[in-house]
Each structure stands twice: as structure tokens, then as C-alpha cells.
A and B are shown apart, each in its own frame.
Chain A
Amino acid sequence: MKFLVADDSSTMRRIIVNSLNALGHTDIVEAEDGAEALKNTTGVDFILTDWNMPNMDGLTFVKAVREKDKKTPIVMITTEAAKDDVITAIKNGVTNYIVKPFTMDTLKAKLEKIIK
């Protein structure tokens, strides 16, 4: 299974990638913003994206993906957790939501559940 991880924070990307590695997933592409992520969606089975990113934010990225691809699961991993934000994200094609902050153990458990 190939994953795409988009977050402008290298720390957060490392935490997410480490969590995926711990779950046995090593085919992972990283992107620093939505624009870079959009160039790297080919062959990806699972997308994990932040919301608040420079150049192209996560919501714009999700909308662009959903114009061509309705199926690939997209998990938003973000601090943008106000009720209206969650509703907006889901209306635009986000399939699951993980709210920062989290412990690595919590993230691993949530990702494991979502991926299954």
C-alpha cells in the first residue's frame, strides 16, 4: 500500500511516517504542501494531509484530488478541529479526521483502525 503524507512541518511528517513504519508501511511519499502533494498522487492508495499549509492548503488539495478521484481515502491530520471545519472537510471529500495534538501511540492506533 502506497501512502502520501502532506504536512509543512517536517516534525509532523516524521511522526506520521514513523507511525506508518511501525505499522509495517514503508512505501511513503512526503510533500511539504498541497501543491507538491498534488504532483505526487499517482499510484497512491492512501492520503494523509494537514490543513494549514503554505502555497496550497490541505482543503484546496483535497478538492483538487476529488475532482478526478472519488475513492482514495483521505485522512485530514490537523489542528483545525472546530465543528464547522470538520463539516467543511468532510463535505469536500475527507474520509477521516485526526486532531492534533496526539501521542505517537494514539496516532498509531487511529491509523491502524482507519487503514483496516
Chain B
Amino acid sequence: MDAKFINPFISATLQVMETSAATKSERGSLFVKKGEGPLTDISGVIGVTGKFIGSINIGFPKDIAIKVVSNMLGGMKIDDIDDSVKDGIGEIANMVAGAAKVQLAEIGYTYKLSIPTVVVGRDHHLSFPPNVPCIVVPFTAIGLGDFYLEVALKMIIPIED
């Protein structure tokens, strides 16, 4: 997958985490997902249709998810993955996919977003269809730990450079 399709999702993730959740993050080295990918405790998944089909997933360990959503809600005390955390992580995924959509639209690649789905389960991973390439981008939320963005997209309209 061309970097020009991945970079908007990376910059959107950094922007959403900092702006919405007051959490500065650094990206690691991306890799192609093969087999079971990074294990997380809660994932926000957005389906994509249009010139791309596939999905965007942002997955967090429990403690980071709780801190991120607490920050979104102005420091509200949260002890476990409750409804507010599930909803908040879904909204993070929605904002990441939405912010990337704006950047990709500027270079002529449009898509529509589904309503977020949130998956909860200790040390889970998400599988994608074998014909849809999935790029994993690890991030480190500074002072908190690692979380992961997975971009699994297949272009269905030919690219014209």
C-alpha cells in the first residue's frame, strides 16, 4: 500500500490523541500484518466503503484506553472498561478515520465511514480478509505505553497517477 494512503491515518491518529485526549504519542515502525497481530484489550473499528473497502482499527491495552477516555472527559475517574470507555474508544476511531478522510479527499480519494464498532476482550486480535492488506502502525503514548493502528484497505478504483 502506497505511503500516501497510510500517512493520513498516522497524522490523524497523532492529532486526535493529542487534541481530543491530551495524550502526546510517537509512532513506531509500521509493518504488514501476518497472522495474529498485536494483542490489545479494546479496539475501535470503522468500516470504509468507496474508492477503498476495508476497515480502520485502533487498539489499546486496558490502562491506556481508560486514561485516554478519562482525559477526553476532562479527567473523569474511570476504574475499568465501562460503557464510557467503549464509547470513547469508538469515538477515537471515528475521529481518526474522519480526519484521515479529509486528507485523502484533498488528493482525490474519497470514502464513506461506518458507525464505529468496539471490540472488548483481554489480549484479542482482529483478523482481516486475506485479500485485504493490513498495515500495522505501532504508537507509544508518552508516559503510558503502546497502542496500535491497523489500516486494512483495498482500493477498488484504479489509481491514476
Q: Which residues of A does B touch, CB under 8 Å?
A: 8-12, 14-15, 18, 52-54, 78-84, 100-104
Contact = CB atoms under 8 A, between A and B. Distances in A.
Given A81-B99, A103-B20, 8 more contacts: A10-B84, A10-B87, A11-B69, A11-B72, A11-B84, A79-B113, A82-B106, A101-B19
A84 B99 contact: no
Nearest to B100: A79
B113 A52 contact: yes
A48 B45 CA distance: 25
A11 B73 CA distance: 7
Helix, strand, loop or mixed for chain A's interface? Answer: loop
Contacts of B95: 79, 100-101
Given A18-B74, A101-B19, A80 B84 contact: no
B110 to A, nearest CB: 7
A8 B91 CA distance: 9
Contacts of A10: 83-84, 87
B102 A9 contact: no
Contacts of B84: 10-11, 14
A54 B16 CA distance: 22
B98 A102 contact: no
Contacts of A79: 94-95, 97-99, 101-102, 113
Contacts of A53: 115
